[in-house]
Amino acid sequence: MVTMPSEKDFANPEIGKVLEKYMQGNANITCEDRARVMRLVENLTLGTAAVGYRTESMHGAGSPQAQRIMIARQGNLEQKKNLAKKIAGIKEEKK
């Protein structure tokens, strides 16, 4: 994601369409929204919004799999996905 083309690259009339063609994933999600999510992940994990410690350091004990199970049980992932879309500026899914 750190080497992903910039928003300026996607807007470029010469290379923008080529980038969209090769960066497209799921047909129901626009290339722009996909890039927005990747930039959000980049900022949360590597950029200015990144925490100075890993999640594992807060877990305290047990296996990484136990941590994944508890996150899945208590994480309310749908709510977090919706919040991430809001933060990234994704309006709604493409139909």
pLDDT tens per residue across span 12-63:
999 999 998 888 888 888 888 888 888 888 777 776 655 554 554 455 566 7
**Cβ contacts of 40 within 8 Å, gap of 6 or more:** 84, 87, 88
> What pLDDT does 53 receive?
47
Asked whether the beta carbons of 5 and 18 are under 8 A apart, the reply is no
The band of 95, judged by pLDDT with boundaries at 50, 70 and 90, is: low
What's the CA gap between 75 and 80, in Å, rounded? 8
Tens digit of pLDDT for each residue in 61-91?
667 777 778 778 888 888 888 988 998 898 8
Query: The tokens 């749908």 sit on which residue?
Result: 78
Domain ranges of the chain: 7-88
pLDDT of residue 14: 93
User: Tokens representing 46?
Assistant: 């590597």
- Distance (Å, whole) CA 37 – CA 91: 12
